């Protein structure tokens, strides 16, 4: 299939207009690291953001950065590192889960899938950090929304809508994101030996303490083996990680106080400091513990306190679960299951619906993702509204047709 790589926004606009005129459905491709997310693309022409690159505005003291959509996150991260700043929401790198080695995630793709990471509870996801964007819609028109300032309620907040829309409303050409200073240091307190329900309780208890814990994850014993030196000596046991970040004086104080609060010597604790802590959370973010297998992988978002119950009930329905773990204090469940044609979708989703939330099929082969709804099916009124929103931006369904829903 042919790939066009426009060199600027006008060329991008022209490309979409030509595609509209020729009724040629377009697949949007950035760095390719998230290519396998969503339903398989069905276009007849690829439009790449490869030639839309570069940081056009970066003012460290203003905590703001603007880049063209095809700019790689590697380039942006390196630039932010120089100023001790970062994208605070820690966008997941999907290369690991899809076993890719040469894909370079872009900032446009990061927004298109609403990427996020283990700080979700404290700092939100990409949608909370996008300040403004420019885009070419499925009508072949350039639009912009938002701006470069932190507070802005002028007009509809289209930034929210574009984030996570998988390019089905418009091809992003430029995005402006909020930047934050990096924490001075971090420490992860590990609580060893808890079963799922007890771990959820400990994480919930911790979220109710004023220690500003920024990440909460629980790894059952069968997934801790995927960690290297971070869990040396304790792999094979269940591990609950609680991350504290900030000025070193405050992190030390809070770690001690948290240990006391959680039962002191009655529990087995370990700590990971600095880079070992960072590596631990990076692996949790990127689903490293479940990636190295041939399983199908589900991502379930539910009320955090119900995480353990959701998994228990899925297993009780005889879904062949091979591994799972919790992030977001139980609110995010990564679930690996034996591959099956129906991906156990109905069973998994019926359990999730009972508890509230949604289940997304992240990893399965193209045939499965073409037949099983990848995104959680919506109730009728909402599904219809979703379709109307889509068609008001892209009446001919020219952009990433079928990527999110078979009929859209």
CB of 211 to another protein, least distance (A): 8
Among 276, 278, 282, 376, binds another protein (CB under 8 A): 376
Does residue 124 bind another protein (CB under 8 A)?
yes
- Which of the stretches 227-235, 265-273, 301-309, 362-370 binds another protein when contact is defined by CB under 8 A? 301-309
- Which of the stretches 90-98, 104-112, 180-188, 273-281 binds another protein when contact is defined by CB under 8 A? 180-188
Does residue 328 bind another protein (CB under 8 A)?
yes
Does residue 233 bind another protein (CB under 8 A)?
no
Tell me the C-alpha distance between 191 and 186, whole Å: 16
Does residue 163 bind another protein (CB under 8 A)?
yes
Using only C-alpha atoms, the chain has a radius of gyration, in whole angstroms, of 21
Closer residue to another protein in complex, CB, 44/234: 44
**Could you tell me how many residues of this chain bind another protein (CB under 8 A)?**
105
Residues of this chain, 187-216, that bind another protein according to CB under 8 A: 204, 207-212
Does residue 154 bind another protein (CB under 8 A)?
yes
Does residue 139 bind another protein (CB under 8 A)?
yes
Tell me the C-alpha distance between 146 and 144, whole Å: 7
- Which of the stretches 138-146, 186-194, 221-229, 269-277 binds another protein when contact is defined by CB under 8 A? 138-146
Does residue 4 bind another protein (CB under 8 A)?
yes
CB of 97 to another protein, least distance (A): 17
H helices of 220-341, where?
248-261, 274-285, 288-291, 307-316
Does residue 250 bind another protein (CB under 8 A)?
yes
Does residue 51 bind another protein (CB under 8 A)?
yes
CB 361 within 8 A of CB 298: yes
Residues of this chain, 68-87, that bind another protein according to CB under 8 A: 84-85
CB of 23 to another protein, least distance (A): 8
Nearest to 120 by CA among 95, 94, 91, 96: 91
Nearest to 341 by CA among 365, 317, 359: 365
Among 21, 102, 266, 407, binds another protein (CB under 8 A): 21
Residue 170: both structure tokens together: 């418009």
Q: What is the rounded (10 degree) CA torsion for 360, 365, 371, 376?
A: 0
Does residue 29 bind another protein (CB under 8 A)?
no
CB 167 within 8 A of CB 400: yes
Backbone angle region of 155, left / alpha / beta, with phi > 0 → left and psi within -120 to 50 → alpha: left
Query: Strand, coil or helix: what is 318?
Result: coil
Please give the helix or strand (H or E) that residue 351 lies within, else none: helix 345-355
Among 55, 79, 142, 259, binds another protein (CB under 8 A): 142
Among 40, 75, 160, 340, binds another protein (CB under 8 A): 160
DSSP letters, 91-134, are: ---THHHHT-SS---BHHHHHHTT---TTHHHH--GGGTEEEEE
């Amino acid at each position: 299939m042919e790939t066009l790589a426009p060199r600027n926004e006008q060329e991008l606009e022209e490309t979409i207009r030509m595609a509209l005129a020729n009724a040629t459905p377009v697949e949007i491709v950035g760095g390719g690291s998230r290519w396998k997310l969503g339903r398989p693309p069905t276009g007849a022409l690829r439009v790449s953001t490869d030639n839309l690159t570069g940081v056009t505005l970066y003012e460290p003291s203003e905590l703001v950065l603007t880049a063209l959509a095809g700019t790689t996150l590697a380039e942006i991260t390196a630039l932010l590192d120089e100023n001790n700043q970062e994208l605070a929401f820690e966008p997941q790198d999907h290369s690991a889960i899809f076993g890719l080695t040469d894909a370079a995630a872009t900032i446009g793709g990061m927004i298109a899938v609403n990427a996020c990471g283990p700080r979700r509870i404290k700092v939100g996801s990409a949608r909370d950090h996008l300040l403004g964007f420019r885009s070419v819609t499925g009508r072949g028109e350039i639009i912009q929304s938002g701006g470069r300032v932190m507070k802005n309620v002028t007009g509809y907040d289209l930034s929210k809508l574009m984030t996570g829309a998988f390019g089905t409303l418009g091809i992003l050409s430029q995005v402006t994101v909020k930047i934050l200073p990096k924490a001075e240091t971090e420490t992860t307190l590990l609580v060893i030996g808890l079963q799922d329900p007890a771990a959820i309780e400990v994480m919930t208890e911790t979220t109710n303490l004023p220690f500003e814990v920024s990440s909460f994850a629980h790894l059952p014993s069968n997934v801790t083996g995927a960690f290297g030196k971070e869990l040396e000596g304790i792999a094979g046991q269940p591990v609950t990680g609680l991350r504290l970040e900030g000025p070193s004086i405050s992190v030390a104080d809070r770690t001690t106080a948290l240990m006391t609060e959680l039962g002191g010597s009655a529990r087995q604790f370990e700590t990971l400091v600095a880079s070992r802590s960072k590596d631990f959370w990076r692996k949790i973010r990127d689903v490293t513990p479940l990636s190295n297998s041939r399983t199908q992988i589900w991502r379930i978002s539910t009320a955090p306190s119900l995480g353990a119950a959701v998994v228990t009930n899925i297993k009780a329905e005889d879904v062949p679960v091979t591994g799972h773990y919790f992030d977001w204090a139980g609110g995010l469940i990564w679930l690996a299951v034996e591959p099956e044609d129906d991906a156990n979708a109905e069973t998994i989703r019926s359990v999730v619906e009972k508890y509230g939330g949604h289940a997304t099929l992240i990893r399965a082969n193209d045939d499965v993702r073409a037949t099983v709804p990848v995104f959680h099916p919506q109730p009728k009124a909402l599904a219809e509204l979703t379709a109307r929103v889509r068609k008001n931006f892209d009446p001919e369904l020219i952009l990433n047709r079928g990527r999110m829903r078979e009929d859209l």
